[in-house]
Amino acid sequence: MVEDVKLMHEMGLEAYRFSIAWTRLIPDGRGAVNPNGLAYYNNLIDELLSYGIQPHATIYHFDLPQALQDDYDGLLSPRFIEDFTAYADVCFRSFGDRVKHWTTLNEPNIEPFGGYDTGSLPPRRCSTPFGQGCAGGNSTTEPYIAAHHLLLAHASAVSLYRDKYQTEQGGQIGITLLAFWFEPASQKLDDVKAAARISDFTFGWFMDPLVYGDYPLVMKKNAGSRLPALRAEESVRVHGSFDFIGINHYGVIYIAADLDQLKQSPRDYSSDAAVKYITLPFQSSRNKDGLRIENHPAPWALRKLLDFLKHKYRNPPVLIYENGAGHEPDPSGRFVYNDEFRSRYLQDYIEATLQSIRNGSNVHGYFVWSFMDVFEVLFAYRFRFGLYGVDFGAENRTRYARHSALWYGDFLRGGALRPAAAVTDSGAYSQ
């Protein structure tokens, strides 16, 4: 940990985003706090601050304690709201004197889809024909229930923070959503409507309640009674329950209408949107549930997304918490130093962010995903996103700087945006 924070300082990072593991802090999900877990995060936060690096802490990042899943089916029960709020209270009380940027949930708009519709993510619940190989579940209802409880848990934690901690601690609190840009596959009216529909079914699913106090109209129409209703008091609590919106953005997805899906009975979450994904080819042949993350830059998509936030959602304060590009590791096991594509990707997206700010978007920060290679939820170790590479075969997981780390460090120290090819094999910039 100490060595990693030193690398952050040497690179010139001003802030570092990390997630607190619920079970590391409270092993059983509720009850006694683990003093070793408490010490770990205190040490990390103090080490970051000693180098002048702002800690940005996420409270929940797809890591529901197994004990709560076993006890009451986790996100499917409203009991999750109370337990999550109590856990958040421990976080605020223990670290809030130093952590000034809190995120309640990471990507709650993707966890219900993967965990309760397709069954591709934990707890792997689904029903045929929408998902395969699940031990139980109902793809027609459970994604909506899980998301509803996540939304209410978020609002409950924000209410707690504002009532009990925010005035004294002086921090900010928000939520982080996965935010692809959905582009119509053609200018046909059906495709244009389909792109707007999938945006409502993924991004608007949370943004509409947060900004306007209710779910999108198209979700209420297409999902009907399967979408839980926000009661009046819940709507009041959810509405405005953020100081900022975090977005994780990786590229564009092209959308075509598939209106035949609306004729299915019963329908699931994904068919309620009545779309099919069409994406451009990119460096990897990997595909996941019809959705690909593009590895080549599409910075115009970020500009469109930020403009969309500005106009549809009243231009909220935005922190871009994830943006980056991955590559498959060398099959021979050799280290990959020359990641010119990543430096070019980051340069293009940073430039797009600057253009959006100049155009009035309320962007307050930008974070690269990721500082170093990590275990990926979708790709495990098959994709590497790090500016710093990690030798996973070494006992101490040795870190090594890729060219993108050198490029990004130079940029943060005031260097001009420049082609990544200007980085030489020696780690210096050519003139």
Say yes or no to pLDDT of 425 above 50. no
Residue 122 to residues 43, 96, 142, 401, Cα–Cα distance (Å)? 30, 30, 13, 33
Alpha carbons 29 and 63: distance in angstroms, whole number = 10
* Average pLDDT over every residue of 196-212: 97
pLDDT band at 284 (very low <50, low <70, confident <90, very high): very low
**248 with 177: CB under 8 angstroms?**
yes
Q: Which two tokens stand for residue 93?
A: 């009380």
pLDDT, mean over the chain: 90
The pLDDT tens digits for 345-358 are 999 999 999 999 99
Residue 68 makes CB contacts below 8 A (sequence gap 6+) with 29, 30, 74, 79, 80, 83
* CA-CA-CA-CA torsion sign (254, 309, 363, 352): positive
The per-residue pLDDT for 418 is 61
In the set 47, 107, 111, 294, the catalytic residue is 107
pLDDT band at 135 (very low <50, low <70, confident <90, very high): confident
* Average pLDDT over every residue of 277-292: 47
pLDDT band at 281 (very low <50, low <70, confident <90, very high): very low
The per-residue pLDDT for 283 is 41
* Average pLDDT over every residue of 425-430: 34
* Residue 21 phi, psi dihedral angles, 5° rounding: -80, 120
Alpha helices per DSSP H over 273-324:
299-312
* Residue 41 phi, psi dihedral angles, 5° rounding: -75, -35
The pLDDT tens digits for 26-71 are 999 999 999 999 999 999 999 999 999 999 999 999 999 999 999 9
Say yes or no to pLDDT of 289 above 80. no
Per the annotation, the verdict on 395 as an active-site residue is no
The pLDDT tens digits for 145-155 are 999 999 999 99
Closest listed residue to residue 409, CA positions, set 13, 4, 6, 3: 13
The DSSP annotation for 60-83 comes to ESS---HHHHHHH-GGGSTHHHHH
218: exposed, middle or buried (Cβ count in 10 Å: 0-12, 13-18, 19+): buried
The pLDDT tens digits for 168-183 are 999 999 999 999 999 9
In the set 47, 111, 142, 322, the catalytic residue is 322
* Average pLDDT over every residue of 125-153: 95
Residue 78 makes CB contacts below 8 A (sequence gap 6+) with 149, 152
* Average pLDDT over every residue of 341-368: 95
Say yes or no to pLDDT of 296 above 80. no
Lowest-pLDDT range of 77-81, 217-221, 260-264:
260-264
Per the annotation, the verdict on 107 as an active-site residue is yes
The pLDDT tens digits for 223-251 are 999 999 999 999 999 999 999 999 999 99
How distant is the alpha carbon of residue 315 from its chain centre?
Answer: 19
Query: Position 390: which residue type?
Result: V
The per-residue pLDDT for 211 is 98
Say yes or no to pLDDT of 333 above 90. no
The per-residue pLDDT for 414 is 87
Residue 384 makes CB contacts below 8 A (sequence gap 6+) with 326, 327, 328, 329, 336, 373, 390
SS3 408: helix
Q: Which residue has the higher pLDDT, 100 or 279?
A: 100
The per-residue pLDDT for 293 is 41
Counting every residue written for the chain, the total comes to 431
